[in-house]
Structure 1
Amino acid sequence: MDDSHLRFPPKNQNFEIILGSSSKARREILAEMGYEFTIMADAIMKKLKSCDQVEEMSRSTLLITADTVVVYQGAIREKPSSEEEARKFIRDYSGGSGKVVGSVVVTNLVTGSRKGGWESAEVYFLEIPDEVIDSLIEEGITLNVAGGLMLEHPLILPLVDTVVGTADCVMGLSKTLTEKLIQEALVES
């Protein structure tokens, strides 16, 4: 499903956003939505809270965190733990499908309000040739992504038959869900 018709807020936002993820795809999606944000890890957020710096924030500050897993034949797949596991994951998807489940939590650091939700999408693949699998394994990127596969990877994208749901959900941050949760977290500020 193409979501390029969706409209997101203008860039003059009156609140801060901290993205609690180092995912390149999540950074790109949030930027596409028109938001300005900084990136900070959970460990830093704990330190901020222990130093009472959160209480000193003068305007709403939202922390956005997200996680993604792949469900294949009823089993949850996170990041592969080895090259062998990554190879098995990708071979399993060849000519088949995997369901991506992405969760998003938006926390208003000033009010403590926390809003969360999840969305899923099903990805159907054409046959994935062994040489493509070998190249992906050699790159090493398969060990850093849920289910061992990046939809937007130039070797994989041509082998995607159909996506039932949104590509941004598959890539790790559903735009519509994130926007809804941002608005809900701001209402309680």
Structure 2
Amino acid sequence: MSSAMASSMAKNSSPFKVVLGSSSPARREILADMGYEFTVMCADIDERAIRREKPEELVKALAEAKAEAIKLKLHGEDSAQERDQPTILITSDQVMVSKGMIRERPKGQEEAREFIKGYSGDKAFAVNYVLVTNLSNGASKGGWDIPELCGYAHSDDGCEFDLEFVLSSTEMNYTKSSNRCMFWFLQIYFHHIPEDFIQSVVKEGHMTCVAGGLKLTHPSVLPFIKQLIGTMDSVRGLPRELTERLIQEVLGAK
């Protein structure tokens, strides 16, 4: 493997190799807690060059682009022994949705301030997409982890969502699945966030360098979260249940 890959040990060894295509410490921790040994490799792509209007389309496109970039890096580097053992690649992406707008990692302090102010006394949604690729045979499975509040049209190419309805709905909470798409419901409701807290967070910087511009799991942020409907691993960017299901599906694919 490339020298750019850093080894990360987990609880138990697996009969297959795992590559995590992310530099996120949170995703590393979640995957390790799931019991996997894995290596880490970053895609190093220009995410801002990839644009989509809908959040579910954007996270899917970014996860796929990361996978393609990493596959190119790995091409020709594997040995015969590695080809004999299944190797899976996990890539993912997350955006927040607030007031009908997609919130990625902020470009700077002013945008981070704008994002956080928008959350104050309101709600936001975390939209995740996870892609698992079997590098040994090329099979891949992907799934969204987004609010499943609206009717959707399912096709072989994916799903379409009525985002306006999603943003105006708060009561429904259920899960549907298919061979192609899986949905989990995740909403974050916020208390009022004081201006002085926003200023201090933006000035420090380390809590705003994430999708949505606010590290929701930080102890100083938790008091401002009124309600979280969903799982903390989804907030952190790697939904455990979805990821495990995709791993098992891609390992079983011929």
| TM-score between both structures, scaled by the size of structure 1 | 0.88
Residues 6-17 of structure 1 aligned to structure 2 (within 5 Å): 11-17=12-18
Counterpart-to-counterpart distance in 2, 1:47 and 1:13: 23
Asked if the contact 1:97/1:125 (under 8 Å) is kept, the reply is yes
Secondary structure of the structure 2 residue equivalent to 1:31:
helix
Paired residues of 2:99 and 2:118 also in contact (CA < 8 A): no
Amino acid at match of 2:231: T
Q: How big is the shift at 1:54? A: 7.1
| CA gap 1:116/1:135 in 2 versus in 1, 3 angstroms | same
The alignment status of 1:124 with 2:213, answered yes or no, reads no
Secondary structure (helix, strand or coil) at the match of 2:14 reads: coil
Quote the sequence identity (%): 50
Q: What's the counterpart of residue 165 of structure 2? A: none
Match of 2:216 in 1: 151
Which of 79, 104, 108 aligns to 2:134? It is 108
| CA positional deviation for 1:143 | 4.3
Measure the CA separation in 1 of the matches of 2:248 and 2:79: 20
Give yes or no for the alignment of 1:57 onto 2:90.
no
Q: Per the alignment, in what secondary structure is the counterpart of residue 22 of structure 2?
A: coil
Q: Deviations over 1:64-88 (max 9, x none)?
A: 0010001112211111112111001
| Cα distance in 1 for residues equivalent to 2:235 and 2:77 | 36
Offset, 1:52: 5.8
Unaligned runs of 5+ in 1: 1-9
The letter for the 2-side match of 1:175 is R
Q: CA RMSD in A?
A: 1.7
- Give the number of equivalent residue pairs: 179
Aligned equivalents of 1:158, 1:89: Cα separation in 2: 18
Give the C-alpha shift of residue 123 in structure 1. Answer: 0.4
Q: Which amino acid aligns with 1:38?
A: T
Q: CA deviation at 1:184?
A: 0.5
Q: Show the counterpart of 1:23.
A: 24
2:131 counterpart letter in structure 1: V
Contact 2:201–2:208 (CA under 8 A) maintained in structure 1 = no
Does residue 166 of the first structure (1) align with residue 231 of the second (2)?
yes
Structure with greater contact order relative to length (CA < 8 Å, sep ≥ 6): 1
Q: CA deviation at 1:44?
A: 5.0
Q: Quick check: 1:70–1:78 contact (8 Å CA) kept in 2? A: yes
- Give the structure-2-normalised TM-score: 0.67
User: Does the 8 Å contact 2:21/2:70 carry over to 1?
Assistant: no
SS at 1:185 equivalent: helix
Residues in 2 aligned to 1:140 and 1:126: alpha-carbon distance in whole angstroms: 21
In the other structure, the counterpart of 1:41 is 42
What's the counterpart of residue 6 of structure 1? none
Q: In 1, distance between residues paired with 2:249 and 2:224?
A: 37
Check 1:73–1:113 CA distance in 2 against 1; reply closer, same or farther (3 A cut).
Answer: same
CA deviations 1:9-40 (Å, max 9, x no partner) are x7231111100000011111111111111101
Which position in structure 2 is the counterpart of 1:184? Answer: 249
Whether 2:197 is the aligned partner of 1:136: answer: no
Residue identity in the other structure for 2:218: H
Query: Any conservation in 2 of the 1:132–1:155 contact (CA below 8 Å)?
Result: no
Residues 95 and 124 in structure 1, CA contact (< 8 A), matched pair in contact too: yes
For residues 73 and 129 of structure 1, the distance between their equivalents in structure 2, rounded to whole angstroms, comes to: 19
CA distance in 1, matches of 2:79, 2:145: 29
- The verdict on how the C-alpha distance between 1:48 and 1:161 changes in structure 2, with shifts beyond 3 A counting, is same
